[in-house]
């Protein structure tokens, strides 16, 4: 029976002379789950630690791979469109850091809440936004996730609060979301992300204090990609142990290039929050391949060799791919098929993002309020009037 299925698949692949390479192996040939040894987390004020022996199923692995590849390809396409001057303004790319977003999402629920800084394209996707909506937002088109009016730094969807352009300002907002979760007693939590460049902000320490006093269900996560704009962490911070910065808040330092390390640490942190113990702090040690933004070539403060070394030794997608292949959880051909599908999705989204119309002037002031009667808004001068519709 299985050989018949294989024959049918091969016949379909060759139909109309299509030169498609298909694996002769069937799903029954693959390992459905495997156990992996992962790196220990560094702990602060914690007696227990996340597991170091973890299980990943084949389906989970394929999903993580597809999601990370989609994020990677989406960012590379954004780079291309920016250089063609189709995307304008600020644009901060996330390639290299995919394991952070995918690992976090694998350990929380879509009913939980998440807020981040301006390197937000990946989280917009993992929170439920589509590639088409994200790409159209980057090009400022009507079909964008914020109707073309937010751009790269201001994307939102259900239980995702951006995309925030002011350094560190999302942290107190995230604590406010966590306060709402506690007040409503809904057993939800808020993941509140910021970078090493924001970690010295005073408002972050004020937020730590309130969150600890009120035992808020918030996971503070510092995505430490080693450079705040063009300044290395060693030059910017007297202490680079960001996971200890909470002082009275327990912390974890995690390998942010390994999706399984991030997943297990986030599960541990989520259990901590949901059990009523209050906030917890995580530092994800990660790396961005692009510069700080598209205006930064990214090689004036670090060498090309450094970037290449991280790519060759610690790339999150390559690491997951190697695990799956070496444990017989997928075939090279199957992963290549996913790559082809992802590339097509990105190309289709880019086509939409360059042909969809821009929002008309009359929609410029819409959605200032969420549920109000239409209001009049002053334009660029006292005689210019626009209308805002919720």
pLDDT along the chain (390 residues), means of 10: 42 42 62 97 98 98 98 98 96 97 98 98 98 98 96 96 95 98 98 97 98 98 97 96 98 98 98 98 98 94 96 97 97 98 98 96 88 88 88
Backbone φ and ψ of 221, nearest 5°: -125, 120
Element at 10 (helix H, strand E): helix 2-14
Spatial distance between the Cα atoms of 209 and 178, rounded to a whole number of angstroms: 14
pLDDT at 10: 45
Q: Which residues of 322-361 are buried (b: 16+ CB within 10 A; e: fewer)?
A: ebbeebebbbeebbeeeeeebeebbeebbebbeebeebee
Alpha carbon of 155 to those of 117, 252, 376: distances in Å?
11, 29, 25
- Angle between the N-to-C axes of helices 316-326 and 259-274, in degrees from 0 to 180, rounded to the nearest 10: 100
pLDDT at 372: 85
DSSP state of 193: E
Who contacts 351 (Cβ-Cβ below 8 Å, separation ≥6)? none
Alpha carbon of 41 to those of 48, 90, 314, 331: distances in Å?
11, 34, 17, 31
Spatial distance between the Cα atoms of 137 and 231, rounded to a whole number of angstroms: 29
pLDDT at 27: 66
Helix/strand/coil percentages in the chain, nearest 5: 45, 15, 45
Who contacts 316 (Cβ-Cβ below 8 Å, separation ≥6)? 68, 96, 97, 98, 99, 257, 258, 259
Alpha carbon of 91 to those of 114, 185, 352: distances in Å?
20, 37, 19
Closest CA to 96 of 343, 320, 315, 346: 315
Spatial distance between the Cα atoms of 36 and 248, rounded to a whole number of angstroms: 33
Helices and strands: H and E segment counts in the chain:
12, 12
Q: Which two tokens stand for residue 348?
A: 């289709």
Burial-class residue 19 by CB neighbours within 10 Å (0-12, 13-18, 19+). exposed
Spatial distance between the Cα atoms of 95 and 290, rounded to a whole number of angstroms: 7
Spatial distance between the Cα atoms of 115 and 318, rounded to a whole number of angstroms: 27
CA 266 to chain CA centroid, Å, is 14
193 has which bridge partners? 221
pLDDT tens for residues 149-170?
A: 999 999 999 999 999 999 999 9
Closest CA to 68 of 116, 138, 24, 125: 125
Pairing of strands 113-115, 190-195: parallel
pLDDT at 384: 86
Q: Which two tokens stand for residue 235?
A: 């030059």
Location of structure tokens 């090009």: 139
């Amino acid at each position: 029976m299985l050989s018949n299925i294989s024959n049918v698949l091969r016949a379909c692949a060759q139909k109309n002379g299509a030169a498609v390479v298909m694996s002769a192996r069937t799903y029954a040939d693959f390992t459905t789950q495997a156990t992996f040894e992962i790196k220990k987390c560094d702990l602060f004020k914690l007696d227990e630690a996340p597991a170091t022996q973890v299980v990943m199923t084949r389906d989970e692995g394929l999903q993580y791979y597809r999601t990370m590849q989609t994020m990677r390809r989406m960012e590379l396409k954004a780079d291309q469109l920016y250089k063609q001057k189709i995307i304008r303004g600020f644009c901060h790319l996330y390639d290299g850091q995919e394991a952070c977003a995918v690992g976090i999402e694998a350990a929380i629920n879509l009913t939980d809440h998440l807020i981040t800084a301006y390197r937000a394209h990946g989280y917009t996707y993992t929170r439920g936004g589509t590639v088409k909506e994200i790409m159209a937002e980057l090009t400022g088109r009507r079909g964008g996730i914020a109707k073309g009016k937010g751009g790269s730094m201001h994307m939102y969807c259900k239980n995702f609060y951006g995309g925030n352009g002011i350094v560190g300002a999302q942290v107190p907002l995230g604590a406010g979301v966590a306060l709402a979760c506690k007040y409503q007693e809904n057993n939800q939590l808020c993941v509140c992300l910021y970078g090493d460049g924001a970690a010295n902000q005073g408002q972050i320490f004020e937020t730590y204090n309130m969150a600890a006093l009120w035992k808020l269900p918030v996971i503070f996560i510092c995505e430490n990609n080693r450079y705040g704009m063009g300044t290395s962490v060693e030059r910017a911070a007297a202490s680079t142990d960001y996971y200890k910065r909470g002082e009275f808040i327990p912390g974890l330092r995690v390998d942010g290039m390994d999706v399984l390390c991030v997943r297990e640490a986030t599960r541990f942190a989520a259990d901590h929050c949901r059990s009523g113990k209050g906030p917890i702090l995580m530092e994800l040690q990660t790396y961005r391949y692009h510069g700080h933004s598209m205006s930064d070539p990214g090689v004036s403060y670090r060498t090309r060799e450094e970037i290449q070394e991280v790519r060759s030794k610690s790339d999150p997608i390559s690491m997951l791919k190697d695990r799956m292949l070496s444990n017989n959880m997928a075939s090279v051909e199957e992963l290549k098929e996913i790559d082809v599908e992802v590339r097509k999705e990105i190309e289709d989204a880019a086509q939409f993002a360059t042909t969809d119309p821009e929002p008309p002037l009359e929609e410029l002031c819409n959605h200032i309020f969420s549920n109000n009667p239409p209001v009049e808004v002053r334009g660029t001068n006292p005689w210019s009037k626009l209308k805002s519709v919720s």
